[in-house]
Amino acid sequence: MATHKTLSKVNLTPPESRARPQNKMTLLQKARQRYFSNLLNSFLTLSVIIAFILILPPLLQWAIFDAVFIGSTQEACEVAAGACWLPIAARFDLFVYGFYPETETWRVNLVFAASFFTLVVLVWRRISMKLKLVYIVAFLPALIFVLLYGGVFGLDSVSSNKFGGLIITIFLGLIGSILSLPLGIFLALGRRSTRPVIRIFCVSVIELFRAMPMITWLFMGALVLQLFLPNGMEVDKMIRVVFILVLVSAASKAEIIRAGLQAIPVGQFEASAALGVGYWRTMSMVIMPQVLKVSIPAMLNSFIGMFKDTSLVAIIGLLDFLSVGMATMNSDEWGKYGIEVYIFVAMIYFVILFTISRFSLTLEKQLETGH
């Protein structure tokens, strides 16, 4: 009985809710809490600071204060104690435009601008997903092809063996990744097909391209493929390389999409089917929008990998961005300044890919909160 009494309890004035108490800290207090909260933390913080103090001044001294920026021949560098940035300045056009005709370089600049604008489009909230896809999958590749190759709309035609440097890197990286998206989707869907022929074909393509190094495929694309083509028919080397990159990257995208497909509840397929909607309509309007949304981060990740992998095309004789650097180091004139060239090449890769990775993080956050 006694326990019963204590259990029954009515609170006629339930406690009011109130604002969360603020704990205001000065910047110094915050810093102390973050970086010097205990002995280990303080030790780590101090080590990093000391390392910086030891490394940064000599680095700056070498890279900037003692470095040579002005001049056009290597003689200007002979006396300098620091870095010699002249090879980059001297060969800047080669780095960026390859052998692209000088009067037409505005077309390349436009391609670079459109590529950067793609990132803006990706995170632009006011643009619908559908429009983003159309821009990226249809408009951008068409624009890049037209601008770089020319031959239409009154643009002078430019042969792809004039491409070089950043043009090749960006062209292959972008086109390879973008065109592989539709193919990756079809491979992923085919892998789940109930028709054995389609399923086996798609599984074979995926596994074949995933399980062999890209270099072997590039060799095959560049050299072996030609043997199978009818006599006299020559396919542009750049296109052959794109073909290989698309297949390799489609295989990895197919796996990303497969994972996304598995995350979609079977009820989504059933609800659409129960309304009488056919397979392709269900896939394109109900399933894929949901799949793509969850796979975008992984896709951008695979794009970053792909972008770096384009440097492998040097092996079959294409002069990509990294190869221009190597060629510079091997030249008589600038052979001594390999470190500077490497640093420059690495920095450019870093700037491009770090930018992309930041944009992709923003996009990821948007997708988490948005619908």
Partner 1 sequence: MESIIKVNKLNKWYGDFHALVDVELNVSLGEKIVICGPSGSGKSTMIRCLNRLEEHQEGSIIVDDIELTHDIKNIEAVRSEVGMVFQHFNLFPHMTVLENCMFALRWVRKMPEKEAKEVAMQFLKRVYIDIHANKFPGQLSGGQQQRVAIARALCMKPRVMLFDEPTSALDPEMVSEVLDTMVELAEEGMTMLCVTHEMGFAKKIADRVIFMDAGRIVEEADPDSFFANPQSQRGKDFLSQILQH
Q: Beta-carbon neighbour count of residue 192 at 10 Å? A: 12
Least gap, CB of 297 to partner 1 (angstroms): 17
Is 196 a binding residue for partner 1 by CB under 8 A? The answer is: no
- Kindly tell me which of 161 and 290 has the beta carbon lying closer to partner 1: 290
Q: Which of 19, 276, 368, 369 binds partner 1 (CB under 8 A)?
A: 276
Q: Which of 281, 315, 362, 365 binds partner 1 (CB under 8 A)?
A: 281
* Spatial contact of 307 and 169, defined as CB atoms under 8 Å apart: yes
Q: How would you class 280 by CB atoms within 10 Å of its CB: exposed for 0-12, middle for 13-18, buried for 19 or more? A: exposed
Q: Which of 83, 218, 286, 356 binds partner 1 (CB under 8 A)?
A: 286
* Spatial contact of 134 and 170, defined as CB atoms under 8 Å apart: no
Q: Which of 74, 118, 249, 272 binds partner 1 (CB under 8 A)?
A: 272
Total residues interacting with partner 1, rule: CB under 8 A: 19
- Kindly tell me which of 162 and 293 has the beta carbon lying closer to partner 1: 293
Tell me the CA end-to-end span of the chain in Å, nearest whole number: 55
* Spatial contact of 171 and 163, defined as CB atoms under 8 Å apart: yes
Tell me which amino acid residue 57 is.
P
| Binders in 77-106 for partner 1, by CB under 8 A | none
Least gap, CB of 370 to partner 1 (angstroms): 10
Region binding partner 1 by CB under 8 A among candidate stretches 28-36, 49-57, 262-270, 314-322: 262-270
Region binding partner 1 by CB under 8 A among candidate stretches 23-31, 45-53, 264-272, 325-333: 264-272
Q: Rounded to an integer, what distance in angstroms lies between the CA atom of residue 88 and that of residue 90?
A: 5
In DSSP terms, 320 is beta-bridged to: 165
Residues 6+ apart with CB under 8 A from 334: 74, 86, 87, 90, 91, 328, 341
In DSSP terms, 165 is beta-bridged to: 320
Least gap, CB of 264 to partner 1 (angstroms): 10
Is 273 a binding residue for partner 1 by CB under 8 A? The answer is: yes
Least gap, CB of 371 to partner 1 (angstroms): 5
Region binding partner 1 by CB under 8 A among candidate stretches 148-156, 274-282, 311-319, 346-354: 274-282
Range 73-94 burial, b when 16+ CB lie within 10 A, else e:
ebeebeebebbbbbbbebbeeb
Is 364 a binding residue for partner 1 by CB under 8 A? The answer is: no
Is 289 a binding residue for partner 1 by CB under 8 A? The answer is: yes
* Spatial contact of 263 and 288, defined as CB atoms under 8 Å apart: no
Least gap, CB of 278 to partner 1 (angstroms): 6
The residue to which tokens 């006629």 are assigned: 12
Is 265 a binding residue for partner 1 by CB under 8 A? The answer is: yes
Q: Which of 114, 203, 277, 316 binds partner 1 (CB under 8 A)?
A: 277
Q: Which of 267, 332, 368, 369 binds partner 1 (CB under 8 A)?
A: 267
Least gap, CB of 189 to partner 1 (angstroms): 17
The full DSSP string for 165-176 is BHHHHHHHHHHH
Region binding partner 1 by CB under 8 A among candidate stretches 150-158, 160-168, 201-209, 266-274: 266-274
Is 275 a binding residue for partner 1 by CB under 8 A? The answer is: yes
Least gap, CB of 105 to partner 1 (angstroms): 42
CA dihedral (116, 354, 249, 364) positive or negative: negative
Element holding 203 (H helix, E strand): helix 196-210
Interface with partner 1 by CB under 8 A: which residues? 265, 267-268, 270-278, 281, 285-286, 289-290, 293, 371
